[in-house]
Amino acid sequence: MTVKNGVKKNGGASLSMSRRKFMGTAAGVAAAGSITGFPNIVQAADPIRTIGLGVSIINEIQGKAAKDLGFKIRGQALGYGALFGKTLNQNDQYEVSECYFDMFDVMIPSGVFQPIDTKRIRDWDKVSNLTKTGMLTPGSQVGQGDAPVRQLWVDENGKRAKGPSRYISALPGWHNADSLGYNPDDTGRPIESWAELFNSDFKGRVALLNIPQVGAMDAAMGMEALGLIKFGDKGDMTKPEIDTLVDFLIKKKKEGHFRAFWETFGQSVNLMVSGEVALQSMWSPAVTAVNAEGVPCIYASPKEGMRGWHGAISISKKATGKKLDQAYEYLNWWLDGWAGAFVARQGYYMSTPANTKKHLPADEWDFWYEGKPAAKELPDPFGTPLVNKGQVRDGGSYEQRFKKIAVWNSIMTENDYLVKRWTEFLTA
């Protein structure tokens, strides 16, 4: 099946829906339900509110969900800090929070969410083992830090439980594993270890992610790969470990090792495209964006493993009655496959790969999930050509990538201390 057919197919479905809408709202919604296989919601319902990062709050996604489900979904895209703050402090301002498992050391004790009953999640059986056991495939490495499996299972009161249990803290969503991006022309050789982040060959041509929680972990991967320190848990460092790490970073900074620190996706793309850096911590879709600018950039698969992160769709404790039912419908919709196919075209994976596969043309599935060369030019989620024919996704297949997660994004117990020392690092 060609991509064009795929797009047409979607377009066709929406066309038939809008045609049917003329037949009356209730019938139209019922028809939409029957087309997509969702249970009918006959009455027009109140909107629900969802918050998240730009990764998952995209007009096309919530718009399609609203169309399929028959009620409005008001999405609000926030920055990481604002999402964290709003999720924690204003759970009356959303029904659904599309947040991340690394926030859950804070969110679970705070009790802002209600436990999600897996009996109400239709495709719960199809959710992969990545979050349920921590191992996507048998024998995979779970990884240090806030691995989703350590944050997932709760009891009916929302307290942590030893899994598997009937209740979960949040529904596993989109996820990815990050590492280093590099310009092979500048480095002159393949980058195969996090240790290269501190290699003096690249002095003055290295950038690091300036979100302390994540940047510190990238740096820790590098330091450990150099054999300078062995962290007990890179996702939960002790104060002395943080001191060792930051002192080392300050030393490197004073040597002029770092070209810049980036905070947003766009900045990391800029640094690479403008030739300012040769090597930097990077997010997978940013590498694709650099390539789209015609600048060579490779996503490293370091032998030490990658740093993973995982989206977690949660329901506010304040959601009750009909809104709660709608929230569950929205969660179920996320797993159904359309959304999985959408985020796949941005380079993210979904917790129900089997459903995603149903919604992705074979060429695209092979490229994004299997790590095979693109059989033809492939589009981004909005239909713009993104991947050239013959291009191969860096980092290999989904399974390869998640077989060896070194550490998961985490908020450490000593987070405040880390942020304080990180400030010192930047001021130095």
Taking CA atoms, 307 is separated from 172, 262, 406, in Å, by: 17, 17, 6
Site for other proteins in 193-232 (CB under 8 A): 204, 207, 210-213
Strands (DSSP E) contained in 64-160 are: 71-77, 96-100, 116-117, 144-145, 153-154
User: Is 396 an interacting residue with respect to other proteins (CB under 8 A)?
Assistant: no
Residues composing the chain: 428
Nearer to other proteins, 15 or 82 (CB): 82
User: Is 426 an interacting residue with respect to other proteins (CB under 8 A)?
Assistant: yes
- Which amino acid type is present at position 137? T
- Closest-CA residue to 348 (of 130, 143, 74, 197): 130
Q: Which of 10, 14, 93, 110 binds other proteins (CB under 8 A)?
A: 110
- H helices of 190-303, in order, are 212-225, 239-254, 265-273, 284-292
d(CA 67, CA 9): 16
Q: Which of 227, 254, 384, 416 binds other proteins (CB under 8 A)?
A: 416
Nearer to other proteins, 110 or 165 (CB): 110
Q: Please, what is the minimum distance in Å from the beta carbon of residue 411 to other proteins?
A: 8
Q: Which of 49, 259, 310, 401 binds other proteins (CB under 8 A)?
A: 259
Q: Which of 60, 185, 263, 293 binds other proteins (CB under 8 A)?
A: 263
Q: Please, what is the minimum distance in Å from the beta carbon of residue 207 to other proteins?
A: 7
* Binding letters toward other proteins, positions 67-96, x by CB under 8 A: ------------xxx--xx--xx-------
User: Is 321 an interacting residue with respect to other proteins (CB under 8 A)?
Assistant: no
Torsion, CA 100, CA 292, CA 221, CA 259, rounded to 10: -110
Which of the ranges 159-167, 318-326, 329-337, 414-422 carries the binding residues for other proteins, by CB under 8 A? Answer: 414-422
Q: Please, what is the minimum distance in Å from the beta carbon of residue 274 to other proteins?
A: 5
User: Is 427 an interacting residue with respect to other proteins (CB under 8 A)?
Assistant: yes
Q: Please, what is the minimum distance in Å from the beta carbon of residue 378 to other proteins?
A: 30
d(CA 191, CA 178): 14
Nearer to other proteins, 393 or 421 (CB): 421
Which of the ranges 20-28, 39-47, 166-174, 420-428 carries the binding residues for other proteins, by CB under 8 A? Answer: 420-428
CA-based end-to-end distance of the chain: 56
Interface with other proteins: number of residues (CB under 8 A): 41
Nearer to other proteins, 239 or 303 (CB): 239
Q: Please, what is the minimum distance in Å from the beta carbon of residue 180 to other proteins?
A: 18
- H helices of 305-348, in order, are 321-335, 338-344
- With beta carbons less than 8 A apart as the criterion, state whether 409 and 88 touch: no
- Closest-CA residue to 311 (of 49, 57, 47): 57
Nearer to other proteins, 12 or 111 (CB): 111
Q: Which of 2, 34, 137, 423 binds other proteins (CB under 8 A)?
A: 423
- With beta carbons less than 8 A apart as the criterion, state whether 197 and 106 touch: no
**Quick one: DSSP state of residue 257?**
-
Q: Please, what is the minimum distance in Å from the beta carbon of residue 424 to other proteins?
A: 4
- Which amino acid type is present at position 413? T
> Could you tell me which residues come within 8 angstroms of residue 148 by beta carbon, excluding any fewer than 6 positions away?
101, 130, 131, 134, 172, 175, 310, 312, 408
Site for other proteins in 125-154 (CB under 8 A): none
User: Is 262 an interacting residue with respect to other proteins (CB under 8 A)?
Assistant: yes
Q: Which two tokens stand for residue 10?
A: 């979607």
User: Is 111 an interacting residue with respect to other proteins (CB under 8 A)?
Assistant: yes
> Could you tell me which residues come within 8 angstroms of residue 81 by beta carbon, excluding any fewer than 6 positions away?
none
User: Is 167 an interacting residue with respect to other proteins (CB under 8 A)?
Assistant: no
Q: Please, what is the minimum distance in Å from the beta carbon of residue 426 to other proteins?
A: 4
- Closest-CA residue to 93 (of 317, 381, 395): 317
Q: Please, what is the minimum distance in Å from the beta carbon of residue 235 to other proteins?
A: 16
Site for other proteins in 270-299 (CB under 8 A): 270, 274-276
- H helices of 347-397, in order, are 353-359, 362-368
Q: Please, what is the minimum distance in Å from the beta carbon of residue 211 to other proteins?
A: 8
- With beta carbons less than 8 A apart as the criterion, state whether 276 and 259 touch: yes
List contacts with other proteins (CB under 8 A).
Answer: 79-81, 84-85, 88-89, 106, 109-112, 204, 207, 210-213, 253, 258-263, 267, 270, 274-276, 411, 415-416, 419-424, 426-427
